[in-house]
Amino acid sequence: MLKLIPYPQKIKILEGQAENLDNIEKKIKKTGLGKEGYRLFIKDKVVIEAEHEAGLFYAQKTLEQLKENLPVPYLEIEDKPKYSHRGYMLDCSRHFFTIEEIKKQIDMLALFKINMFHWHLTNDQGWRVQIDKYPLLTEIGSQREQTAGDKTPVKGFYTKEQIKEIVEYCKERHIEVIPEIDMPGHFSAAIASYPFLSCTEEKIKVAEGYGIFPNIACAGKDKTYEFCYDVLDEIAQLFPYEYIHLGGDEALKLYWIDCPHCQKAIKDNGLKNEEELQGYFMTKMVKYLNQKGKKVINWNDGMLGDNIEGDITVHYWRQTKECNEVVRKEAKKNRGIIISPFFSYYLDYPHGMTPLKKTYNYQIDSDIEENVIGLEAPLWTEHVLDVDRLEYMTYPRLLAVAERAWTQNADYTGFLQRLSMFGKIFDKHAINYCKDYNPNIIKGKLDVAKFFLNALGKVGKGNLKARKLTNKKLKNKYKN
């Protein structure tokens, strides 16, 4: 068996063996395999045919994997991806990673034909991207004094030159960079920098704990919209690709309920409730970016209101009954869907909770499958303090998502057999990968218990109280 991940769509094994794969002829020609597809012929020399440089690049990545397994039989490969979106998300807000650490991961993404680097740059715990018009976002918002009482400061942001460096590095590897600027929720770092953005205008600190905070952008003030437009102007210039992710998730609307500005916006615009106010807010952002030739991605729990307009793609992570219905509803509107299910693709949770087998074998619901544009594995970094932990949580689970996003030939048993070679590749690239990716039941349960006991102590004070109070106020407001 050829030990390739992701596995090609079609392989024909011929008589003879190749001892060397360095004699390569590349041809740009019509193949009918699309932008990223290729044909690869290995005999006395290697011939690659593709319609685009991206196809040539992915054929080269196949060769890189084959070189670790020489000699290889003479063969013919015809290959193209199942999905156009094959992604990895790295959260650099909760913990900061250097440009060189990020480049190392990008090299691995390229090797496994991942073509989308979703870069999560803002959240409650840190603002990581330079915005010239609002310098306090990085002067104040990019640092916190500690994390849940550990007395260890966390700081750092990416200059515009560093952003451009990563964009160019990715471009050379046929990877698009999707920035995420979370709004209206997960906005504490922005509000700590500019208190006028909140409903209360109270001075707060960059969040030091985790969870869901009520410090979200006020959706009733003109100056909030002006701020968001200004930020998105600079983001749109920094990132040349079509997608910008605006988050939209976990927006706790406690202050919106009593805010005169937000309540006026609800009344003046004929909105039903605070969820539709979020839809109104997001529609403004979507249409603003659509005018710039950009498309917006939103997490599915940020689309509970039925009034979001414009070119927007649904990012499916939350799997509650209500949020599953959102995805089905948006599919009926013919909106694209990116699949990142919490219980299968979230890489920040322990291997005992999300073993490799569970990740590989996730099945997309048939009623939304036609709208799916791709798969993406997110790594949130609340509990990922350094690059060693980043790699331990990411690999090899990311390979399972990479294969399911690329090939039509899903086969978990075959995947495991081929995975046996990749320890050598990970060692070559100095990747701190997890070797016990399908732990036994006892070890798995212990890992999960340890993880959640540790996580419980880092949830921001007042989080649960704020959520209960929000639900109570909303229930009382709309009880009739």
3-state per-residue secondary structure call for the chain = CCCCCCCCCEEEEEEEEECCCCCEEEEECCCCCCCCCEEEEECCCEEEEECCHHHHHHHHHHHHHHHCCCCEEEEEEEECCCCCEEEEEEECCCCCCCHHHHHHHHHHHHHCCCCEEEEECEECCEECECCCCCCHHHHCCCEECCCCCCCCCEECCECHHHHHHHHHHHHHCCCEEEEECCCCCCCHHHHHHCHHHCCCCCCCCCCCCECCCCCCCCCCCHHHHHHHHHHHHHHHHHCCCCEEECCCCCCCCHHHHHCHHHHHHHHHCCCCCHHHHHHHHHHHHHHHHHCCCCEEEEEHHHCCCCCCCCCEEEEECCCCHHHHHHHHHHHHCCCCEEECCHHHHCCCCCCCCCCHHHHHCCCCCCCCHHHEEEEEEEECCCCCCCHHHHHHHHCCHHHHHHHHHHCCCCCHHHHHHHHCCHHHHHHHCCCCCCCCCCCCHHHHHHHHHHHHHHHHCCECCCHHHHHHHHHHHHHHHCCC
Domain limits, the chain: 10-79, 85-468
Please give the structure tokens belonging to residue 479. Answer: 């009880």
Give the per-residue pLDDT at 160: 98
Give the per-residue pLDDT at 434: 97
Task: Report helix angle 99-111 to 387-394, nearest 10.
Answer: 20
Name the stretches of the chain with pLDDT < 70: 460-462, 480
Cα–Cα distance between 395 and 368 in angstroms, integer? 28
Check if the beta carbon of residue 335 is closer than 8 Å to that of residue 303: no
The string of pLDDT tens digits covering residues 59-109 is: 999 999 999 989 999 999 999 999 999 999 999 999 999 999 999 999 999
Check if the beta carbon of residue 170 is closer than 8 Å to that of residue 118: no
Whether the ω angle into residue 396 lies within 30 degrees of 0, i.e. cis, is yes
CATH superfamily, with its number, for domain 10-79: Chitobiase/beta-hexosaminidase domain 2-like (3.30.379.10)
**CATH for the 85-468 domain, from 3.40.50.20, 3.20.20.80, 3.40.50.1980, 3.20.20.70:** 3.20.20.80
Cα–Cα distance between 219 and 266 in angstroms, integer? 9
Phi, psi of 211 (to 5 degrees): 120, -155
Half-sphere exposure of 356 (CA within 13 A, CB side): 24
Whether the ω angle into residue 8 lies within 30 degrees of 0, i.e. cis, is no
Cα–Cα distance between 121 and 127 in angstroms, integer? 6
